[in-house]
Amino acid sequence: MQAPTTIARPLAAVLALIGALVLLIAPAEPAAAAAQASSCALSGTTGWTDEGHWTDRTRFQQPLGTKRVLTLFVDFPDAPADGPTSTYTAQLTPAADWMWNASYGRTWLAITPLNRWLRMPQYSTSYGFQRGISFEQHEAYVRDAVQAAAPYADFSRYDLVYVVPPRSAPAISFTPTYVYDPGTAGVTANGTRIKWAVTFGQDMWYWGPRIADHETGHTFGLPDLYAFTGTDQHAYVGGWDVMGKVGGPAPQYVGWEGWKLGWIDDSQVACLPGPGWTTVDLNAVEYTGGTKIAVIRTSDTTAYVAESRRAAYADPNPCSTGVLIYKVDTAVQTGYGPIRVINGNPGTTPPSGCTSLDMAAHHPGQSFTDWTARVQISIRSGGQYGDTIQISKW
């Protein structure tokens, strides 16, 4: 299997990671594909964030290149700042390196802090930060933060805004993402429209820097993969994707999303859109290069996907490694399971810190069959950098 290759990146980022990224080299193997990748691309039908291959870029930002991020620090009459802004900057900036690795060097978050506390005009308790906060309430919060910063910042220089409250403001409890509505006046500063913002809450201290990667993913058009209802919030993907469990043990964006975001090329997708079979050499999604996903299309909005997962880079501590198999349904709304992982080892007792679904990776000799969809995925062999599988449809 093919190991990672070196990617050019901004000089500041290179200096920040010198000595941290040691890339292994392994023999390359040719990609296998039964058809053009486009034959396995699925359209979204929800009208909002979903797992459809094509994303409305009039609403969501392009997830490639350098994303210029301005961080605003806001406090309140009832919750004044409790320390220097540098503490909060240090909590979030590691998100940039994590996304750099997860995107194979195709997306860099250039995070610039506005190093001053900005006083919001209302009490922290008046902004309605609770589950179910309305779009209008959230937009008002973003507007107040932007207006407070307008004398000190040129918003035309940035693509995205982060808004960070002090730890002394428990009413700002969670972290939603603001995506503008092009049909409204929205939020502007000195003639610049603010299209995307992440407003952090106290949960940033629980989830750590990857909460920025999760929420920024929403500005790219990705849905939530955790469950909005039910007793098990992580019943769909466990800890296998940062859009599910932010602090999960294997948070690398799944390969299907990497393809949707443009981080994985069509040439790295093995596609089986109809009856037949093919053998695919998968290079683990944590590494650069090689074939990343094998897709079996089952309808206009559904497909099965197989990818190889290893303990490396964005996934340093997975509970299991091997072939991750999941079903994609682009007609399913955010929070209701547009991606569902197939557990290859449901009888395995997970170690401490892991759940049953975190043990889902399939190993050589195992296979998955959906008799109704007439699909089978068999794992033939595994190596240091990936796995060889056979995919079939009849």
Element (H, E) at 108: strand 107-119
Helix pair angle (210-219, 94-102), 10° resolution: 60
Instruction: Please list, in sequence order, all residues whose beta carbon lies within 8 angstroms of the beta carbon of residue 108, skipping any fewer than 6 positions away.
Output: 9, 10, 13, 65, 66, 67, 96, 99, 100
Helix, strand and coil in the chain, % to nearest 5: 20, 25, 55
User: What is the rounded CA–CA span in Å between residue 387 and residue 385?
Assistant: 7
Pairing mode, strands 302-309 and 367-370:
unpaired
pLDDT digits (tens), the chain, 394 positions: 444 433 444 444 444 443 433 333 333 333 344 589 999 999 999 999 999 999 999 999 999 999 999 999 999 999 999 999 999 999 999 999 999 999 999 999 999 999 999 999 999 999 999 766 899 999 999 999 999 999 999 999 999 999 999 999 999 999 999 999 999 999 999 999 999 999 999 999 999 999 999 999 999 999 999 999 999 999 999 999 999 999 999 999 999 999 999 999 999 999 999 999 999 999 999 999 999 999 999 999 999 999 999 999 999 999 999 999 999 999 999 999 999 999 999 999 999 999 999 999 999 999 999 999 999 999 999 999 999 999 999 9
Instruction: Please list, in sequence order, all residues whose beta carbon lies within 8 angstroms of the beta carbon of residue 84, skipping any fewer than 6 positions away.
Output: none
Element (H, E) at 207: helix 204-207
Residue with tokens 């860099």: 108
Q: Where are the domains of the chain?
A: 22-55+233-393, 65-219
